[in-house]
Structure 1
Amino acid sequence: MKKEVKAFFWIAWLITLPTVLFYTYQHYPPTIEYGWNLMVFFSLGIIVSMFPITIQGRDFFIIQWLSFGAFLLYDLYIEILVVQASIFGLLLIRRIPRKEAHRYPINSLMFLIVSFLSGLSFYAVGGVTGPQPIQHLIIPTIVYMASNMIVSQLFLLLYAKLSKVQMPVFGRDFLWEAVGSLFFYPFAITTFYLHIAIGPWAIVLLGIPILLAVGLLQIYNTTEKVNDYLQQAVEIGHELTGKLKASEVLDLFIQKVSATLEVDYAYLLDVIDDKEQLEILRQTEKGQLYKTKIEPLKKNQGISGTVWASQKSVLYHQRSDWETLAEGYMPSDIESVICVPIIRNNQVVAVLFLGSIRKRAFEKFQLMTVDILCSYFAVAIENARNHEKTKRESEHCALTGLYNYRYFEKSLSYAFHSVVMKKEQPLSLIMIDLDHFKQVNDSYGHQSGNQILKEVGERLTQMFHHLGTVARFGGEEFVVYLPSFNKKEALEIAEQFREELATTPFKLYTDLSEVRKELSVFVTASIGVATAPFDADDALTLIRHADRALYTGAKQAGRNRVAGYVK
Structure 2
Amino acid sequence: MKFSKRTKLNIILLWVFTALPMSIFLYYYYPSQPIDWSIFMLMVLLAIATTAIPIYIGNVTIFFSQWVTVAAFLAYGAGVEMILVQLSILPMIFRVLFLQDLPYRLIFSSWMFIMVSFLSASAAHIAGYQIGSMDTIQILLGATIFMFVSLLSNHVILYSRERILGQKEKFFSRDALWDYAAGLVTLPFAVALYVLQLTMGWLAFPLLGIPFLLITYVMRMYNTAERANIALAKASAFGHELADRLSVEQIVNMFLEHLKNLLPADNIYIIDNLKGNYVVMRALEDGHEMRIDVPSDTIKNSFIHYYFTYSEKQCYVKSSEWVHEAPDFLKNDMNSLLIVPVHRNKKTEGLIILTARKKYAFEKFQLDIVHLLATYFAVSLEKAKYVNAAVEKSETCALTGLHNYRFLNKTLEIEQNRLNSNPHLILSALMLDIDHFKQINDRYGHHAGNIVLKDFAKLIQKNVPEDAVVARYGGEEFVIILPQYTKEEATKIGEKVRQTVEIHPFLVDSDLTKNRLDEIIYITVSIGVSSAPEDTDETMSLLRNADRALYIGAKQAGRNKVAEYLK
| TM-score class, shorter | 0.7 to 0.9
Aligned 1:428-443 pairs, distance under 5 A? 429-437=429-437
Deviation of the 1:543 alpha carbon = 5.1
- Counterpart of 1:360? 360
Distance 1:245 1:208 in 2: 56
The question of whether the paired residues in 2 share the 8 Å contact of 1:532 and 1:542 is answered with yes
- Counterpart of 1:45? 47
Taking structure 1 as reference, are residues 523 and 186 closer, same or farther at Cα in structure 2, changes over 3 Å only?
same
SS in 1 for 2:303: helix
The question of whether the paired residues in 2 share the 8 Å contact of 1:526 and 1:562 is answered with yes
The question of whether the paired residues in 2 share the 8 Å contact of 1:526 and 1:555 is answered with yes
Distance 1:31 1:384 in 2: 73
Distance 2:191 2:425 in 1: 84
Aligned 1:111-130 pairs, distance under 5 A? 111-130=113-132
SS in 2 for 1:199: helix
Distance 1:535 1:170 in 2: 62
Taking structure 1 as reference, are residues 153 and 547 closer, same or farther at Cα in structure 2, changes over 3 Å only?
closer
Distance 1:401 1:139 in 2: 85
Aligned-residue CA RMSD (Å): 3.7
The question of whether the paired residues in 2 share the 8 Å contact of 1:299 and 1:306 is answered with no
Distance 2:84 2:424 in 1: 80
Deviation of the 1:418 alpha carbon = 7.1
Distance 1:140 1:159 in 2: 28
The question of whether the paired residues in 2 share the 8 Å contact of 1:531 and 1:542 is answered with yes
Q: TM-score, normalised by structure 1?
A: 0.86
SS in 1 for 2:325: coil
Deviation of the 1:531 alpha carbon = 6.5
Q: Is the deviation greater in 211-220 or in 54-63?
A: 54-63
Distance 1:455 1:298 in 2: 44
Alignment partner of 2:178 out of 176, 179, 185 = 176
- Counterpart of 1:151? 153
Distance 1:13 1:537 in 2: 71
The question of whether the paired residues in 1 share the 8 Å contact of 2:246 and 2:384 is answered with yes
Give unmatched runs, 5+ long, in structure 1: none
What one-letter code is carried by the residue in structure 1 that aligns with 2:58? Answer: Q
Deviation of the 1:464 alpha carbon = 4.4
Deviation of the 1:472 alpha carbon = 0.7
Deviation of the 1:563 alpha carbon = 4.1
Q: Is the deviation greater in 549-558 or in 325-334?
A: 549-558
The question of whether the paired residues in 2 share the 8 Å contact of 1:269 and 1:278 is answered with yes
Alignment partner of 1:70 out of 69, 72, 75 = 72
Instruction: Please state if 1:192 is matched with 2:180.
Output: no
The question of whether the paired residues in 2 share the 8 Å contact of 1:295 and 1:328 is answered with no
Distance 1:34 1:283 in 2: 57
Distance 2:517 2:282 in 1: 48
Instruction: Please state if 1:286 is matched with 2:286.
Output: yes
SS in 1 for 2:324: coil
- Counterpart of 1:94? 95
What one-letter code is carried by the residue in structure 2 that aligns with 1:225? Answer: R
Q: Is the deviation greater in 439-448 or in 124-133?
A: 439-448
- Counterpart of 1:338? 338
Deviation of the 1:328 alpha carbon = 4.8
Deviation of the 1:374 alpha carbon = 0.5
Deviation of the 1:129 alpha carbon = 0.9
SS in 2 for 1:202: helix
Q: Is the deviation greater in 192-201 or in 291-300?
A: 291-300
User: Once the two structures are superposed, what CA deviation does each residue of 1:449-471 show, in whole Å capped at 9, x if it has no partner?
Assistant: 65653453344345545675421
The question of whether the paired residues in 1 share the 8 Å contact of 2:431 and 2:550 is answered with yes
Distance 1:534 1:54 in 2: 64
Give unmatched runs, 5+ long, in structure 2: none
Q: Is the deviation greater in 144-153 or in 365-374?
A: 144-153
Deviation of the 1:28 alpha carbon = 3.7
The question of whether the paired residues in 1 share the 8 Å contact of 2:553 and 2:564 is answered with yes
- Counterpart of 2:499? 499
User: Once the two structures are superposed, what CA deviation does each residue of 1:511-560 show, in whole Å capped at 9, x if it has no partner?
Assistant: 999x9999976432122446789989977776566556545654455432
Distance 2:191 2:160 in 1: 31
Taking structure 1 as reference, are residues 36 and 174 closer, same or farther at Cα in structure 2, changes over 3 Å only?
same
What one-letter code is carried by the residue in structure 2 that aligns with 1:319? Answer: S
Distance 2:114 2:521 in 1: 91
Taking structure 1 as reference, are residues 353 and 506 closer, same or farther at Cα in structure 2, changes over 3 Å only?
farther
Deviation of the 1:412 alpha carbon = 4.1
User: Once the two structures are superposed, what CA deviation does each residue of 1:182-239 show, in whole Å capped at 9, x if it has no partner?
Assistant: 3322322222222222222123212222222212211111111111211221232222
- Counterpart of 1:296? 296
- Counterpart of 2:471? 471
User: What is the count of residue pairs matched by the alignment?
Assistant: 563
Deviation of the 1:96 alpha carbon = 2.3
Taking structure 1 as reference, are residues 414 and 119 closer, same or farther at Cα in structure 2, changes over 3 Å only?
closer
Deviation of the 1:363 alpha carbon = 1.3
Distance 1:424 1:141 in 2: 73
Distance 2:56 2:80 in 1: 27
Q: TM-score, normalised by structure 2?
A: 0.86
The question of whether the paired residues in 2 share the 8 Å contact of 1:300 and 1:309 is answered with no
Distance 1:367 1:395 in 2: 41
Taking structure 1 as reference, are residues 360 and 526 closer, same or farther at Cα in structure 2, changes over 3 Å only?
same
What one-letter code is carried by the residue in structure 1 that aligns with 2:498? Answer: R
Taking structure 1 as reference, are residues 123 and 510 closer, same or farther at Cα in structure 2, changes over 3 Å only?
same
Instruction: Please state if 1:207 is matched with 2:225.
Output: no
The alignment-based identity, stated in percent, is: 33
